[in-house]
Amino acid sequence: MKKVAILMGSKSDAPVVAPAVKTLKAFGVEATVRVLSAHRTPGEAMAFAAGAADAGYGVMICCAGKAAHLAGVCAAHTTLPVIGLPIKSSFMDGLDSLLSTVQMPAGIPVATVGVNAAENAALLAVQILALADEGLTLKLKERKAKMTADILRDDKAIDEIMAGLI
Ligand code: RP5
């Protein structure tokens, strides 16, 4: 199975990124986590992205806040799918990070998830890898079935829950 590379622009991003690592682990997907910045270590970030396909990675998840150019820079240097995870900043609740990740010029797509949406970034990576892995597809189906069961259980209990709140 191909691996997933998770790059974050700063170690300060780690608490937000952690659920992505946990989710990949739950699916048995091998992940490499690196701190590489588009601005502070541009050469290293570029070299990692350029070599990622040959190194056995199938997807890259790039996490950054503020002027969040990491995903875009990586996407410029690889043909692998790049998932952008915008990290909430102290400015506009992370709208700056979201827009600088998602608004890519034509030709260099970045599949951007929501601000701080680390679990979704990991799930999207698993879904991409699952295209070539039936075992992962099965696990994804099981997870969806559990989610459905959980919501239906909540639906049954909602009158009781509301009564406790009123
Ligand atoms: C970005 O700048 C990082 O991804 C981080 O979200 C933000 C702030 O970095 P630090 O100043 O905390 O290192 O490049």
Structure confidence by residue, pLDDT tens digits, 151-162: 999 999 999 999
Q: What is the mean pLDDT of residues 24-42?
A: 98
pTM for the predicted model, two decimal places: 0.96
Q: CB of 97 closer than 6 A to ligand 1?
A: no
Which pLDDT score is estimated for 40?
98
State whether the Cα torsion 55-18-116-129 is positive or negative. Answer: positive
Residues 15/33, Cβ–Cβ less than 8 Å: no
The CA 44 to ligand 1 mean position distance, Å, reads: 16
CA distance 49 to 70: 10
Q: CB of 41 closer than 6 A to ligand 1?
A: no
3-state secondary structure of 136: helix
